[in-house]
Structure 1
Amino acid sequence: MTNRFDHLPARRAIIDRRAIADALDALQAADTLALRLAATPVLRAALAAGRDEIARRLTESPSAGNEIAASYAFLTDQILRLVFDFTTQRLYPLSNPSAGERLTLAAVGGYGRGEMALHSDIDIAFLTPWKQAAWAEQVIESMLYTLWDLGLKVGHSSRSLDEMVRMANSDLTIRTALLEARYVWGDQPLYDEAARRFDTQVVAGTARAFVAEKLGERNARHERMGDSRYVVEPNLKEGKGGLRDLHALFWIGKYAYQVRDVGDLVERGLFTAQELKRFRKAENFLWAVRCHLHVLSRRAEDRLTFDVQSEIARRMRYADRPGKSAVERFMQHYFLIAKEVGDLTAIFLAHLDETFAAKGRRFGITLTGRKPRKLEGFVLDRGRLAAPSDGFFAEDPVRLLQMFALADLHALEIHPLTLRMAGRDAKMIDARVRADPEANRHFMHVLASKRDPERVLRTMNEAGIFGRFVPDFGRVVAQMQFDMYHHYTVDEHTLRAIGLLSRIERGLLEDQHPGAAKILEQVVCRRAVYVAVLLHDIAKGRGGDHSVLGADVARKLCPRFGMTPAETETVAWLVEQHLLMSAVAFKRDLSDFKTILDFAERVQSPERLRQLLLLTTVDIRAVGPGVWNDWKRQLLGTLFAGAEEVLRLGHQQRGRIERINLKQDELGAQLGWGRALFDVYRKRFPDSYWVAEGGDILARNARLIAAADAAEQPLSIETQPDASRGATLVTIYAADHPGLFYRIAGAIHLAGASIIDARIHTTRDGMAIDNLLVQDPFGKPFDDPMRLRRLETAIEDALANRSQLAAKLATKPSHRTRADAFVVAPNVLIDNKASNRYTVVEVNAHDRPALLHALAHALFQAKVTIRSAHVATYGTRAVDTFYLTDLIGDKIDGAARLRTLERLLLAAAGGKPIEEEAPRPKEKAKVSA
């Protein structure tokens, strides 16, 4: 009998095995099958009652993870024992069993550890002494049917002892599962023999190979899961810093050091008592979260997705605090625990290196290079930077910063035991050390290094030194942002952004950011950019505008870092304005020259412009995979080029008419139509058309229009995937009429595409030429030929009124159910100063299918003309901007008119249904909305 669950309180309240056994003994039936079926309701009721009791305990003690996980395993043990006894004593009894008719039941894998969540798999092994007897086959088959009837998910194996040894030697997964084996019921001597043979015939002499294989398996798993413990929807079992990492430590300890309990790791010198306490704390927290997750999901779920994070935070009794919601506090705790797991892993691996690595070889990654001559008192331990004594940092805490500067200078890895010492002594970093000029020089050396600052800063953060030296950064360590836009915690996002800036500077990302390295070369003060990247999100979670608050932090920190007043002011400006460039590029019409002028007026200098472009680029890219694309790069490049020209030459140097004439001359030469024919074509378009479109699109439009006019086609649609823009250009040439754009937008959504930008034009003779950029749901060009044809057909049907557009849109399902976890209050901002010619309307709303269609429909109802539309999405928040005029081409004014416009857009943004109207052909005004 095992005593693994002796610590559980009131075990009989979970399940009273003796009482249930009595109830099973009282059952009577005509045959074996009927008797087995009669037992199922008794066992099912016991299982349900036990689960209810455990759920009650989880509600009362929501953080008791280890106890709850053990309770589920205890309940499973008792059910299995009941099934085993009932099957062997009532269904298939043996009056005089032979030596071969012996059977033992062992728990393996996670169940073998005595840890389970509600829907965890039940991994069991049936062991027989030799080849399986007929009686054993009957028992195993009957038990499995009973367990399946109870709704349990069982992973099972049935092997003889010889088969067990052979399979364990040939398969790492089986060997690992058997490493966790625990006797449950049956023939105890047979189990003991199996355990002895496993130790002597499988484990003995293979420890180093097992450790290497498990570490390789761990690294592959991390790579598969994203290789970061700071993704905001983590997998708490398989992800970096999750339960599996803790399990791997114990597996290695059990295999290599023959420990039987986690506490034995201290006796073996692998952990200190304090580190063991951290291990148990991390394990307890992760199991509590996993148990809550299984209860909420009603299935075996290990990914902590947005739609369950808030409810788990509530169940675990986290509360809102100023500037930080309950769910953000819960997730910050989660990521701090994941960091603890990483720290413990590094300590454990250091001991493995000492024990198993051959001379000159280690399990970790060795950074090769010339052996440095000057180590300022530090030493080299098998190629790793190490402290010479236990009190080295206490003698001079500035050495805690110096160590990382040396690691960067000489491209060295720091010894894990030295990092352990540094983490212990981090508390010695006080106000005196933070103000020390030498300590700050060391820090700036690392931050603005031309080598690999991300690697060293990440190590500094893992050791806890970063947050102690820069307490403002310490406040955002492990802090998540509860939205679907940001993929990482604030500190992880910041470190990735610094790494991206460094790789751009070293020319490693030239294919993705052409010219960016040259722009950084032109920056007069490169370290100001690095500091701005470090500080741009430093004030998140403080309950105010993090850009403004972050600028205040910059003004405080930069002088301490040794920066001049001019550098300090530059960094403060960059932090305060770090969202400016993306907001203008993605939400404003860059063909409207006032947009460029207003932006240039706020930037004021080419130096700031270059710095802001670099900060904006790495900030967007570091948000997460798939957020950066060619279209965003092109928009930022267009804004940068326009503003640079203004800042260099002044806006009077190249007037609007000159730029239009230049574009027209270039197009005329490209088309080769002849002067008279081209003059007729040129005069059909207003000046805004020539300013808005690039030369390649002007040429495509001209050829499409010429072919359509020659063929007298009432509607022409052209689709052209454009890799340079990361999207597909969809051009529609048709007679202009009210409601044109909202019908097109609805049709494009029905075809499975999303509009990311729209340029809408009306010729002087009443034709509409609309250029739309669309992408597929993954942010890529919409380029499959069949889908493109379906898109064209959908637009044709919508404009010809051949389809019930509103009804089809209403029934098209959303593919983003997790978005329901977030609330975005609709907001409409109307600005009559942003453009000289247009009323600019910005709509913020919860992103949903066909939102753009609904907003365009509302503008149709408001009887306004859309001149251009710009679509930006930040996770679940959609920001759609429209440049509008009234029906005669003027700005929209009048309080009543603006209130009506706002009311209609708010209703559409909030998802209120709008009845579709038929086109009104008698209306004289030409409206392209």
Structure 2
Amino acid sequence: MNPRFENVPNRRAIVDRRALAEELAAIATNDPSLLRREAIGRLKEALDDGRAEIARRLAERPSRGLEAANAQAFLIDQLLKLLYDLATQRLYPLSNPTASERLTLMAVGGYGRGEMAPFSDVDIAFITPWKQPPWAEQVIETLLYSLWDMGLKVGHSSRSLDEMVRQAKGDVTIRTALLEGRYVWGDEALYRETLARFRNEVTRGSERQFIADKLAERNARHLKMGDSRYVVEPNVKEGKGGLRDLHALFWIGKYVYDVDRAAQLVNQGLFTPAEYRLFHRADNFLWAVRCHLHLAAGRAEDRLTFDMQREIAERMRYADRPGKAAVERFMQFYFLQAKTVGALTGVFLAHIDDLFAGRGRRFGLPQLRRRPRKLQGFVLDRGRLALPHDAFFAEDPTRLVEIFQLADLHGVEIHPLAMRAATRDAKLVDDVRADPRANALFLDLLTSPRDPEMVLRWMNEAGVFGRFVPDFGRVVAQMQFDMYHHYTVDEHTIRAIGLLARIERGELAADHPLASEILPQIVSRRVLYVAVLLHDIAKGRGGDHSILGAAVAERLCPRFGLTRAETETVAWLVRYHLLMSATAFKRDLSDFKTILDFTHVVQSAERLRLLLVLTIVDIRAVGPGTWNGWKRQLLGDLYEAAEEVLRLGHKQRGRDERIAAKQAGLAEALGWGPDAMAAYLRRFPEAYWIAEPDDVLAHNARFVAGVGEARLAIDAQVYAQRGATLVTVYAADHPGIFYRIAGAIHVAGGNIIDARIHTTRDGMALDNFLVQDPFGRPFDEAGQLARLQTAIEDALANRGKLVDRLKAKPLPRVRADAFRIEPNVLVDNKASNRFTVVEVTARDRPALLNQLAHALFQSKVTIHSAHVATYGERAVDTFYITDLTGDKIATTSRLKALEKRLLDAAAGRAVELAA
């Protein structure tokens, strides 16, 4: 029995090769095709029974991943042996084989390592001594067709010994697969000869190149998969911190030291026994997740998508805890294992690096730019910060913080063996948490003008960060189960700190001109950096993380050395870190009450500056694509309006003065005659002049003048300043026009992010929509714009049934089905002096805005503006409405009826899509 399968108990219950061999021998026919067909039928049954038994065992003991992976490989081994014997003994027997009529069957790749997921490919290498004889061709063909007929996916190669050597030398992928080559069946002497030639002619002397190739391959794979082990939909096999990273360590160790099992890496000094236990634990867990993934999907699937995460958490028996769902606990453990893989990789490569130190430069590691003078007792080892002896941290645990501060100060890398010692001794930092010097060093690192992100990530990888700041330790590897956040809480926080440092260094001035301009005006840099560190510190505690986080800030800031005033400001920023984005994205900024309510909370220009920068880095650190020109514009508009109020007071400019100023600016921009200008101004109510910015007012005026007496005109043009397409509809006003336009825009493939609805005094509707494609970009292709215009024209002219077109529109994101979002409706009569503000939260889905607008139409209200914010799978749509006479909706019965109708629409309980 192969020692790789010793950990698989009661193997005969999975497949009994002896009993199957007797069954095959009992097939009484000399017809080759009938014999093959009957044999394959029996073996296919055995394959299905074996898989079912392995799945049953995994369901009973859901964390035994390696056992399941080994069992799968064992099952395939036994079936291959039976097929090989059938082909060579009954189908193509040789009475007197020649020296060339020899064949060995090798398992390669993951199968060669003895590890397979339920639907993994079967990777086989057929080796012959010289050119392949006809007999070998017949046997190989029979085996392959039989495996395919059994429903297996097969990766195969057929080579002579010379071909094997030549191809392995020229292709690192072939070399890697053969590196794990394992004898399955056939000519054993030929297998031993294959192994000897591979070692002597392929691997010997090429170790350094192989390591460099594997590291380059790993880096390319990480970039493709997101280059972070904390992406919230990780790839278990290929992602950073996944199985392939563990395999790469084993490949390198095997290539250099010719080990057969990962446990033998301890004997070579590449891992300590404790580190190998961590390696084995991560390997076992990741294999369990991968096997469950395959079984849940019913196919080969390695991406842990949101819809699968809940399923796998349930299969692996994770349970809910107060403040943390089972799926979040499962994913937190997943990311902790990925973190372990990263730490082990660093230590492992340090040893390999030292082994080859005399033969050339290090593997892709940066060279020392300048030699630091003050190392506080630490030493430099080939340009990396190292320890003078193993007990260095134990002598003074403050050094556990100092090593990272020095690495940042001098721009040097920490030696992986020092990282290993820091990881091992991280618990010692508990004793110096209250030490003023340790906290001063930490604050110096956090607020570094250099590159705090990289060094803080190292500190986190070593486990020192979470021990020194236990509240941060609680969010290490903690995911947020939604489609909005791309990273775990700790990774998001560290990325936000890095973004803040980059903005401060002036590297992102083009993306964030306002933040880059106001950062030098901020009085206390460290208040801002500490606030960024703590803004999400209380996530996963079962309450409002902003309120709970403010309490954490009040406790931690004095320990870091902040003054009472600084502590108060940090606590305020953490408490209100979502205020600015909520106001900018969910409220009408042209309503002056919005600005007054916002400034009532902010109260000072310094807080406003701090809050803007914190909001920007928080949004951008969520993940790729979450920051765009539309958000930049809204936050800038809110900042400027609030700054003006805070600087000049509430009554700096009255409503009449603002309208007069806008109209004067428009007249100057247009250059029309006084009569034409006066006639145009009379057509629009006061609300129009307040709501629209100057450039849109000018565009609307030219557009309306250009269409003359037409009763329907549509214009669409890219509004680059806001990262969207401005769609203007000029039509005869009638009830329900808004929901029809919203439906038409969706049919054309657009998402409405903002809408302003106006009615002229002579009965025309002038509606402005900001529209993006599903990826948050403007509609800018001629075909898209034409499709948009046609869809709106058809909807308003009742050409074709809009309801049928909406139903036929495919769902853009079916993964949103993995999330349960309880619809909610908030009606607020205090947020505006003139309007009733309605905020609807629901799961984002096609035509949601159309259905909500239809519900408002049925409620006989007038929509004045709509504001759409999406956070992954969650949509928050806000409407500013009045009754048909232009007053707020005040009666309790009407408000309740309105709320119920909107809740039904938000939950998808509306009887019919709005048509």
Contact preservation (8 Å) 1:231, 1:487:
yes
Contact preservation (8 Å) 1:487, 1:623:
yes
Q: 1:40 & 1:576 partners in 2: Cα distance?
A: 67
Q: 1:129 & 1:329 partners in 2: Cα distance?
A: 54
Instruction: Specify the SS of the correspondent of 2:5.
Output: coil
Aligned to 1:741: 738
Question: Quick one: which amino acid aligns to residue 638 of structure 1?
Answer: D
Write the mapping of 1:536-547 to structure 2, written as runs, cut at 5 A.
536-547=535-546
Q: 1:530 & 1:367 partners in 2: Cα distance?
A: 29
Aligned to 1:761: 758
Aligned: 1:425 with 2:422: no
Aligned to 1:375: 375
Question: Quick one: which amino acid aligns to residue 290 of structure 1?
Answer: R
Question: Quick one: which amino acid aligns to residue 73 of structure 2?
Answer: A
Aligned: 1:273 with 2:270: no
Aligned to 1:513: 512
Question: Quick one: which amino acid aligns to residue 577 of structure 2?
Answer: H
Query: 1:364 deviation in Å?
Result: 4.4
Question: Quick one: which amino acid aligns to residue 481 of structure 1?
Answer: Q
Question: Quick one: which amino acid aligns to residue 417 of structure 1?
Answer: L
Instruction: Specify the SS of the correspondent of 2:123.
Output: strand
The structure 1 residue matched to 2:821, chosen from 811, 820, 824, is: 824
Aligned to 2:856: 859
Instruction: Specify the SS of the correspondent of 1:658.
Output: helix
Question: Quick one: which amino acid aligns to residue 781 of structure 1?
Answer: P
Question: Quick one: which amino acid aligns to residue 635 of structure 2?
Answer: L
Aligned to 1:249: 249
- Describe the superposition over 1:872-895 as per-residue Cα deviations: whole angstroms up to 9, x where unpaired: 011111100000000011111101
Q: 1:4 & 1:245 partners in 2: Cα distance?
A: 21
Consecutive unaligned residues of structure 2, counting only runs of 5 or more, are none
Instruction: Specify the SS of the correspondent of 1:106.
Output: strand
Question: Quick one: which amino acid aligns to residue 294 of structure 2?
Answer: H
Question: Quick one: which amino acid aligns to residue 217 of structure 1?
Answer: E
Aligned: 1:675 with 2:674: yes
- Describe the superposition over 1:456-513 as per-residue Cα deviations: whole angstroms up to 9, x where unpaired: 1111000111001000000000000011111000000000000000000000011111
Question: Quick one: which amino acid aligns to residue 646 of structure 2?
Answer: L
Aligned to 2:749: 752
Aligned: 1:783 with 2:780: yes
Instruction: Specify the SS of the correspondent of 1:435.
Output: coil
Aligned to 1:298: 298
Question: Quick one: which amino acid aligns to residue 636 of structure 1?
Answer: L
Consecutive unaligned residues of structure 1, counting only runs of 5 or more, are 919-929
RMSD between aligned residues: 1.1
Instruction: Specify the SS of the correspondent of 1:429.
Output: helix
Q: 1:672 & 1:119 partners in 2: Cα distance?
A: 72
Instruction: Specify the SS of the correspondent of 2:731.
Output: strand
- Describe the superposition over 1:303-358 as per-residue Cα deviations: whole angstroms up to 9, x where unpaired: 00000111111111111111111110000000000000001000001101110134
Contact preservation (8 Å) 1:689, 1:761:
yes
Aligned to 1:317: 317
Aligned to 1:911: 908
Aligned to 2:204: 204
- Describe the superposition over 1:27-83 as per-residue Cα deviations: whole angstroms up to 9, x where unpaired: 234532222122121011000010011011001110001100000000000111111
Question: Quick one: which amino acid aligns to residue 276 of structure 2?
Answer: L
- Describe the superposition over 1:385-443 as per-residue Cα deviations: whole angstroms up to 9, x where unpaired: 1111111111110111111111111111111101111111111112x401100000000
The size of the alignment, in residue pairs, is 915
Q: 1:442 & 1:530 partners in 2: Cα distance?
A: 14
Aligned to 1:926: none
Instruction: Specify the SS of the correspondent of 1:633.
Output: helix
Q: 2:336 & 2:414 partners in 1: Cα distance?
A: 22
Write the mapping of 1:482-631 to structure 2, written as runs, cut at 5 A.
482-631=481-630
- Describe the superposition over 1:2-32 as per-residue Cα deviations: whole angstroms up to 9, x where unpaired: 3321332100000001111111112234532
Q: 1:837 & 1:507 partners in 2: Cα distance?
A: 42
Aligned to 2:692: 693
Aligned to 2:716: 719
- Describe the superposition over 1:547-597 as per-residue Cα deviations: whole angstroms up to 9, x where unpaired: 000000000000000000000000000000000000000000000011011
Question: Quick one: which amino acid aligns to residue 669 of structure 2?
Answer: Q
Contact preservation (8 Å) 2:754, 2:769:
yes
Aligned to 2:793: 796
Contact preservation (8 Å) 2:851, 2:913:
no
Aligned: 1:886 with 2:879: no
Question: Quick one: which amino acid aligns to residue 172 of structure 1?
Answer: V
- Describe the superposition over 1:780-827 as per-residue Cα deviations: whole angstroms up to 9, x where unpaired: 001121121111111111111112111221232212111111011111
Contact preservation (8 Å) 1:367, 1:413:
no
Contact preservation (8 Å) 2:103, 2:136:
yes
Query: 1:514 deviation in Å?
Result: 1.2
Contact preservation (8 Å) 1:868, 1:882:
yes
Q: 2:418 & 2:29 partners in 1: Cα distance?
A: 69
Q: Percent identity?
A: 70
Aligned to 1:922: none
Aligned to 1:876: 873
Query: 1:226 deviation in Å?
Result: 1.1
Question: Quick one: which amino acid aligns to residue 152 of structure 1?
Answer: L
Query: 1:917 deviation in Å?
Result: 7.7
Instruction: Specify the SS of the correspondent of 1:815.
Output: coil
Query: 1:180 deviation in Å?
Result: 0.5
Aligned: 1:897 with 2:894: yes
Q: 1:113 to 1:798 in 2, by over 3 A?
A: same
Question: Quick one: which amino acid aligns to residue 494 of structure 1?
Answer: T
Aligned to 1:145: 145
Contact preservation (8 Å) 2:59, 2:315:
yes
Q: 2:4 & 2:336 partners in 1: Cα distance?
A: 29
Question: Quick one: which amino acid aligns to residue 852 of structure 2?
Answer: L
Contact preservation (8 Å) 2:841, 2:877:
yes
Q: 2:334 & 2:859 partners in 1: Cα distance?
A: 49
Q: 2:280 & 2:6 partners in 1: Cα distance?
A: 18
Contact preservation (8 Å) 1:626, 1:779:
yes
Q: 1:426 & 1:367 partners in 2: Cα distance?
A: 27
Query: 1:675 deviation in Å?
Result: 1.2
Q: 1:201 & 1:369 partners in 2: Cα distance?
A: 40
Query: 1:651 deviation in Å?
Result: 2.2
Question: Quick one: which amino acid aligns to residue 309 of structure 1?
Answer: Q
Contact preservation (8 Å) 2:514, 2:636:
no
Aligned to 1:179: 179
Q: 1:838 & 1:360 partners in 2: Cα distance?
A: 72
Query: 1:915 deviation in Å?
Result: 4.0
Q: 1:168 & 1:474 partners in 2: Cα distance?
A: 46
Q: 2:110 & 2:447 partners in 1: Cα distance?
A: 46
Aligned to 2:661: 662
Q: 1:6 & 1:889 partners in 2: Cα distance?
A: 80
Question: Quick one: which amino acid aligns to residue 892 of structure 2?
Answer: A
Bigger mean CA offset, 907-916 vs 838-847: 907-916
- Describe the superposition over 1:636-672 as per-residue Cα deviations: whole angstroms up to 9, x where unpaired: 0000000000000112112222222121111111111
Query: 1:367 deviation in Å?
Result: 4.8
Instruction: Specify the SS of the correspondent of 2:780.
Output: coil
Q: 2:360 & 2:395 partners in 1: Cα distance?
A: 31
Contact preservation (8 Å) 1:360, 1:382:
no
Q: 1:673 to 1:914 in 2, by over 3 A?
A: farther
Contact preservation (8 Å) 1:357, 1:363:
no
Question: Quick one: which amino acid aligns to residue 779 of structure 2?
Answer: F
Query: 1:360 deviation in Å?
Result: 7.3
Query: 1:95 deviation in Å?
Result: 1.1
Q: 1:360 to 1:378 in 2, by over 3 A?
A: farther
Aligned to 2:124: 124
Query: 1:88 deviation in Å?
Result: 1.1
Query: 1:87 deviation in Å?
Result: 1.1
Q: TM-score normalised to the size of structure 2?
A: 0.99
- Describe the superposition over 1:729-751 as per-residue Cα deviations: whole angstroms up to 9, x where unpaired: 10000011000000000011111
